[in-house]
Structure 1
Amino acid sequence: MSSCSDFWVVAAPSPNFDNVPTIQVATHEVPLPAYWRILDLLEDGNREEEIVQVLIRHTGAKTRSIVTEIVGSVVENQRLITRPSKTPGRLSLAFKKPHQPKKISDYRASRIEARRELQEAEEKLENAKQKEKRILNEALILAQRKEEFKDMKMTADERWRTTSAIEHQMKQVLQKHHDIEAEVKFAKRLTLIHKASLA
């Protein structure tokens, strides 16, 4: 989960000295870590006003109107993204775009780039899911092996050493699963962001 420091520039005209990747929400550039933190708060069951209050503690009361606009847009986008689309194969919503004229060539180039990034994100998500399946199978095999050893004849010392070895392997597998869960979650969010930008 992102730290509170990720909230810088949510409402700012501050320079992006660290070149943090940003995403456009409404007419504001929001750093991706801050965007994901807002999604975390939303997924944890926080209401829109509660999320606004959390952000304002870090951005200052003067930013309330901008923060409220950003959070409201993220909440609305997320609601529409997760709602079944009336048009098959099409996501419900793109992020609100500023009413600024763009050259058609620039627009096409940005769409091509967005499609490429979406394809890469979907591949990462699929790879992460496959890794998760392999890890779960590995955990199942270890659990079965532990059960099988219960019926085998061995000394108390042998049983202790065998059980300890299996439990150690299980801990490693559980850590792998924890890591891959975070990878899957990250890939899902990235895919949603790119899908929304193409809607």
Structure 2
Amino acid sequence: MSHAVSATTALIVVDVQPDFMPGGALACHEGDAIIEGIDALLRARRFRHVVATQDWHPRGHVSFASSHPGHAPFDGITLHGHAQTLWPDHCVQGTPGAALHPLVDWSALDAVLRKGSDPGVDSYSGFRENHGPHGTRPSTGLAGWLRERGVDEVVVCGLARDVCVLWTAQDAVALGFRTHLLWELSRPVTPASDAATCAALQAQGIGIM
């Protein structure tokens, strides 16, 4: 990022947690490659508001393949009328893999949003749950928190680019925020998804920085 950042712009750092790093329960492709850059960005204090999201699942969460006998990780099921990928058990509340990554200086944060804590609902986006039991996507409250602070633009980075980062950026723009994604400070579950992710971002007018 070469330009000055407005006081009305917030940084959202999505799910930078050990379970999404190589060797973790749900490793993203080269997930650890973003740690140094995100640490430097936070230390630079470029943003007045910095929010981190944190996947924070109870044991036996509905998104875990282990909660569905006969299913394996990465199988698909229908949940609340929508497609749901089943994942390896990951980011279980209170475990080291669920912590914010210890090699990042998080002192610039002014909010941490824990998501995915409802045992029956998955939550990729920082703004809304995936799909509630009544066909809704319940709010996490993040949009209101940002608006109360005068934020009208968000910059998103973190993990995974093709899942939680993408959903967060898509919801941000749908909720009226000017939205940008820091491509080099994000990584996907699999790089095979990158072309589709780019197309989805461009279709919604989300800037790739």
TM-score under structure 1 length normalisation: 0.30
**Which structure's CA Rg is the greater one?**
1
- TM-score normalized by the length of structure 2: 0.29
Q: Which has the higher strand share?
A: 2
Higher helix share: 1
